[in-house]
Amino acid sequence: MTLEVIGIYAVGICLLIGAAFALIGTIGLLKFNDSMTRLHAPTKVGTIGIGALLLASMIHSYVFAEGSLHELLIMAFLFVTAPISANFIAKVNIHKRTCDTPPAPPQDDTWSTLNVPEADREIAKAD
């Protein structure tokens, strides 16, 4: 077996893994019926799904053309930014009370999202 054949199979397997996890993430997004559990599905696509697709791209570039390491950067930026958007969605859910209200923290007064300043309490209630 030549290097190119091995490369083709490796790329194919990585693409299949990535596509499968993207599909499972989408199924999860459709299947779950609560806004917080739904949030769990895309985190999977964002990590292993994209990771496998980028790995396929990297292997392809090394076997068939000049090597490319851009994919590592995409991965790194994705890993740094994905938790922030997930955190924002979770905060919106807590703020709009579209999920079960979380139990109060043991040490401090309340969660920071629920910590509405006194002057704004009336507006928050009207929401």
Partner 1 sequence: MLMRAYRWLFPHPLLTLLLALIWILLQNEFSAGMAVFGLILGVLIPRLTAVWWPDRPVRFHLGNMATYLIIVLWDILVANVQVAWIVLTKPNSKLRPAWIIIPLELRQPEAISVLAGTITLTPGTVSADLSDEGHSLLVHVLHTDDPDSVRDEIKDRYERRLKEIF
Instruction: Provide the binding-site residues for partner 1, judged by CB under 8 A.
Output: 21, 24-25, 27-28, 31-34, 36-37, 39-41, 43-44, 46-48, 66, 68-70, 72-73, 79-80, 82-83, 86-87, 90-91, 93-94, 100, 102-103, 105-113, 115
- Measured from the CB atom, the residue of 8 and 114 that comes closer to partner 1 is 114
User: Measured from the CB atom, is 5 or 40 closer to partner 1?
Assistant: 40
84, two tokens: 């922030």
Least Å distance between CB 89 and partner 1? 9
Q: Which residues 6+ apart lie within 8 Å of 100 measured at CB?
A: 36
Q: State how far the Cα of 48 lies from the Cα of 67, in Å rounded to an integer.
A: 22
CA angle 32/35/37 to nearest 5° reads 50
Distance (Å, rounded) from C-alpha 6 to C-alpha 123? 63
Minimal distance in Å, beta carbon 48 to partner 1?
4
Residue 12 or 83 having the CB closest to partner 1? 83
Cα distances from 32 to residues 59, 99, 103, 104, in angstroms, run 35, 13, 22, 25
Shortest spacing between CB 5 and partner 1, in angstroms: 26
- Three-state SS string over 56-77 comes to HHHHHHHHHCCCCCHHHHHHHH
Minimal distance in Å, beta carbon 2 to partner 1?
Answer: 26
For residues 44 and 60, which CB has a smaller minimum distance to partner 1 in the complex?
44
